[in-house]
């Protein structure tokens, strides 16, 4: 039995410990804000936080989250008022929105590890996730704005 904490709630999982965390949160917990993109850890749509660190949910087995806090976009702030979420809205970042939950969680992890990143650190920190619509300039501006509040 794998025990973990998802969005502040104690959970247990009695299935295949190799199941990707993405399928656990989407299919079993019905937390569909985390998206499936490529399934190969290349796009970042599936990014969640495990122990505060951004991980690709499609490649992270549920067993890697055992005993840890897992945060999905639904658990970041139930009202959508985390500083990164507010900055995303202020800069009108989303277009299609598909990658946004992963990018918001990646930015959250970046700022928790480095609350005052330089422009290059933002570019490097955000470079692992893709955006099909190309809203990178808006994302970088939003991260800078959120850094003032974190």
Closest CA to 44 of 148, 145, 147, 139: 139
| pLDDT of amino acid 68 | 98
Which string of b and e fits 6-31 if b means at least 16 CB within 10 Å?
Answer: bbeeebebeeeeebbbbbbbbeebeb
Domain boundaries, the chain: 2-76, 83-147
Which string of b and e fits 95-134 if b means at least 16 CB within 10 Å?
Answer: eeebbbbbbbbbbbbbbeeeeebeeeebeebbebbbbeee
| pLDDT of amino acid 45 | 96
| pLDDT of amino acid 150 | 84
- Ranges in the chain, pLDDT < 50: none
Which homologous superfamily does the CATH classification assign to the domain defined by 2-76? Beta-grasp domain (3.10.20.30)
Write down the pTM of the prediction: 0.96
Cα four-point dihedral sign 113, 42, 59, 10: positive
Tell me which residue has tokens 């999905």.
72
Which homologous superfamily does the CATH classification assign to the domain defined by 83-147? [2Fe-2S]-binding domain (1.10.150.120)
CB atoms within 10 A of CB 39: 14
């Amino acid at each position: 039995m794998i025990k973990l904490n998802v969005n502040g709630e104690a959970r247990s999982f009695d299935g295949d410990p190799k199941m990707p965390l993405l399928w656990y949160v989407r299919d079993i917990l019905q937390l569909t804000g985390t998206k499936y993109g490529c399934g190969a850890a290349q796009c970042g749509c599936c990014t969640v936080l495990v122990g505060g660190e951004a991980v690709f949910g499609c490649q992270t087995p549920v067993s890697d989250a055992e005993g840890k806090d897992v945060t999905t976009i639904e658990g970041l702030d139930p009202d959508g008022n985390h500083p990164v979420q507010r900055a995303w809205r202020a800069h009108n970042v989303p277009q299609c929105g598909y990658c946004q939950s992963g990018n918001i969680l990646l930015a959250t992890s970046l700022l928790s590890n480095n609350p005052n990143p330089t422009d290059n650190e933002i570019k490097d920190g955000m470079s692992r996730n893709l955006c099909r619509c190309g809203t990178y300039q808006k994302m970088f501006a939003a991260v800078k704005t959120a850094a003032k509040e974190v």
